[in-house]
């Protein structure tokens, strides 16, 4: 089972899965499960609830009692998802941002092009984190303050972190990006201009 969530799932905002089993016209309760992560972000994350054995009903209960700036959450209806290999899921022609730490493990992914000062928008990403929500995007290549090549992706596109399952390393994170903006609807004109740079001739002075 999977549930998509965005916003904050802690500090006053909670998302709980409630499970049950249908018996005739009655429902027998089979317990609850808190759906949490540590992210505070409008980016979507895929949560994987674990229904107890025998459950055939599930509902989500959201509570927003937060008053802070991050006090909101959004979530989807539960859906059944089936795992597929990354090579099957990623289109061969799609530009994929691959973390440098694991780039040699995914040599078949088409890297994002950075040409003429323009970074091609990534459609997917395979990143390396610590297993937590959105941790792969803490790398410098995704940070505006570090001049990251992909720093504008979370600002210009929607972000969805998918769930990964064994035998994949839990530190490997897979993302899908979406945008209504055209990826190649611009005209590139090449040219040259000369601008002033650093002064390299430092005058010297002799004191007699």
Residues 23, 49, single domain; the answer is yes
Q: What is the pLDDT of residue 208?
A: 47
Q: Do 20 and 102 belong to one domain? A: no
Question: How many angstroms separate the CA atoms of 80 and 46, rounded?
Answer: 12
Q: Is residue 167 part of a domain?
A: yes
Residue 208, in any domain of the structure: no
pTM of the model: 0.85
C-alpha span between 46 and 37 (Å, rounded): 10
Residue 199 lies in a domain: no
Q: Is residue 205, in this structure, part of any structural domain at all?
A: no
pLDDT of amino acid 110: 92
pLDDT of amino acid 199: 64
Q: Within this chain, do residues 23 and 101 fall inside the same structural domain, yes or no?
A: no
197 belongs to a structural domain: no
Please list the ranges in the chain whose pLDDT falls under 70. Answer: 70, 198-208
**Contact, 89 vs 74, CB < 8 A?**
no
Q: Which tokens is 59 given?
A: 């509902």
Structural domain containing residue 94: 86-178
- Supply the CATH number for residue 136's domain: 3.40.190.160
Q: Alpha-carbon distance 42 to 155, whole Å? A: 10
For residue 7, is it within any domain? yes
User: CA–CA separation, 78 vs 83, rounded Å?
Assistant: 16
202 occurs within a structural domain: no
User: Are 91 and 173 part of one and the same domain?
Assistant: yes
95 lies in some domain: yes
Whether 172 and 100 share a structural domain: yes
DSSP result, 90-148:
S-TTS-EEE-GGGGGG-TTSPBPPEETTEEPPPSEEEEE-SSSTTGGGGSGGG-GGGT-
Question: In the prediction, which pLDDT does 43 show?
Answer: 95
Q: How many domains does the chain have?
A: 2
Same domain, 70 and 97: no
Looking at the fold, whether 173 and 124 belong to one and the same domain comes out as yes
């Amino acid at each position: 089972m999977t549930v998509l969530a965005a916003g904050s799932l802690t500090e006053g905002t909670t998302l709980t899965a409630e499970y049950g089993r249908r018996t005739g016209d009655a429902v027998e309760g089979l317990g609850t499960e808190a759906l949490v992560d540590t992210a505070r972000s409008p980016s979507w994350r895929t949560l994987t609830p674990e229904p107890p054995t025998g459950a055939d009903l599930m509902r989500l209960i959201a509570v927003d009692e937060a008053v802070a700036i991050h006090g909101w959450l959004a979530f989807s209806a539960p859906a059944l998802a089936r795992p597929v290999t990354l090579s099957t899921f990623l289109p061969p022609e799609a530009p994929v941002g691959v973390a440098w730490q694991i780039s040699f493990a995914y040599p078949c992914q088409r890297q994002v092009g950075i040409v003429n000062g323009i970074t091609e928008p990534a459609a997917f990403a395979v990143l390396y984190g610590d297993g937590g929500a959105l941790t792969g995007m803490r790398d410098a290549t995704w940070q505006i303050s570090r001049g990251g090549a992909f720093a504008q992706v979370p600002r210009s596109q929607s972000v969805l972190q998918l769930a990964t399952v064994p035998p994949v390393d839990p530190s490997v994170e897979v993302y899908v990006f979406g945008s209504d903006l055209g990826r190649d609807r611009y005209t590139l004109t090449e040219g040259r201009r000369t601008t002033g740079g650093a002064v390299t001739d430092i005058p010297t002075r002799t004191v007699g």
